[in-house]
Structure 1
């Protein structure tokens, strides 16, 4: 086995083991938390190595890079997720190309994604990105605007809202992120009751804090550096 292949497979195995341990310690069902390997700024060859080792879920943040990798790896049955910020002008390029788009934060963006999905005859899964900390420099809808955004999305036939995503402020101690993870879970539960809908997905937690996120209800953790190492650029 070549050194890069060995490194990636061992890294992923260690992450999967830690995630399984965290899930078990919270008393949640085995397999209830998915690991998304965040492959942005890493080559398609790394993705193929992990895919051949049995991993299918990958996350990308840059439209052109993601589409190029999809084309290069078109023969593989990969579950692609779009997790980066998304400008309205690029919505037409991602709708219908990903299992889920995690960064929807406005009705304008949702309508553009819906329009493209409609033209393709598909239903696009989306998550709403919520700015739980109210950070001005970060994307995400505010808590106050969340109900009206959900209401608007509910009228779009070619979008399926499956849950929420959040990027809490960075803390050296993972415990610092706990209140923001807990808040997203509470918002999800509240919106389910308010609208009478199911929102099964909570996309939260990254390399440094995914254990805390799992304790607070995450169903998908986004892990990049610990699997792939430092980004190439």
Structure 2
């Protein structure tokens, strides 16, 4: 079931890339495993998915001991007091949404002399229930992090589009993130590289790829509906 789902997703990604003239190898699938048991995650790993995304630090730490050959992504809201638990091994933090959080990551990373790659989370939907930097404040916060952090390396931007039964409704939010990324790239800031756009989930990842996503975060389409 899981391996079949992954095959379908990879096929869809290939088709979309063919349509828009992109290389499918540019797209990383992050399997989002919130509440998914370890055995099911192992099925995904056996099917060639090595990038695993978790929303909660506690759940990530519990699963980490049972899984090998995994690049861990933190995709949920990260509290400053939880940074210390993941800073020594995390592959990519998708959800930096304040200078305060970036400074905490920087402080912890400096102690172990390990640069940490992060994405800046942007609230492109304007929904009050979502975390993220306001689009109009994104460039300023990227500048502040660049100036004040030595061990935090910004690798791009992330967003969570507003849910809609019609995936086309997510397109303007993905376009907005791509435009912001292009603007930031022109600034040539220290420790800032607009390499990644983390956008698109189970219901709209193909639209995100058409608009430039390099990372798609997929849970339900791989593992089925959450209980």
TM-score, normalising length from structure 2?
A: 0.94
> 1:229 and 2:186 equivalent?
no
> 1:103 and 2:98 equivalent?
no
- RMSD over aligned Cα atoms: 1.3
- Select the residue among 193, 202, 225 that pairs with 1:207: 202
- Contact 2:13 2:24 (C-alpha < 8 Å) held by counterparts: no
- 2: CA distance between counterparts of 1:205 and 1:143? 17
- 2: CA distance between counterparts of 1:29 and 1:50? 22
1:58 maps to which residue? Answer: 52
Aligned length: 224
Q: Deviations 1:2-47 (Å, cap 9, x if unpaired)?
A: xxxxx11111111111111111111012311111111111011111
1:3 maps to which residue? Answer: none
Aligned-pair CA distance for 1:53: 2.8
- 1: CA distance between counterparts of 2:193 and 2:108? 24
Provide the secondary structure at the position in 1 that maps to 2:200: strand
2:165 maps to which residue? Answer: 172
- Select the residue among 114, 125, 129 that pairs with 1:122: 114
> 1:49 and 2:39 equivalent?
no
Aligned-pair CA distance for 1:170: 1.1
- 2: CA distance between counterparts of 1:60 and 1:12? 18
- Select the residue among 67, 70, 76 that pairs with 2:64: 70
Moved over 2 A (4+): 194-198
- Select the residue among 25, 33, 42 that pairs with 1:31: 25
> 1:160 and 2:153 equivalent?
yes
- 1: CA distance between counterparts of 2:39 and 2:163? 30
Q: Deviations 1:97-138 (Å, cap 9, x if unpaired)?
A: 311000000000001111111112211100000011222221
Q: Deviations 1:195-220 (Å, cap 9, x if unpaired)?
A: 45530100000111111111100001
- Select the residue among 94, 102, 114 that pairs with 2:86: 94
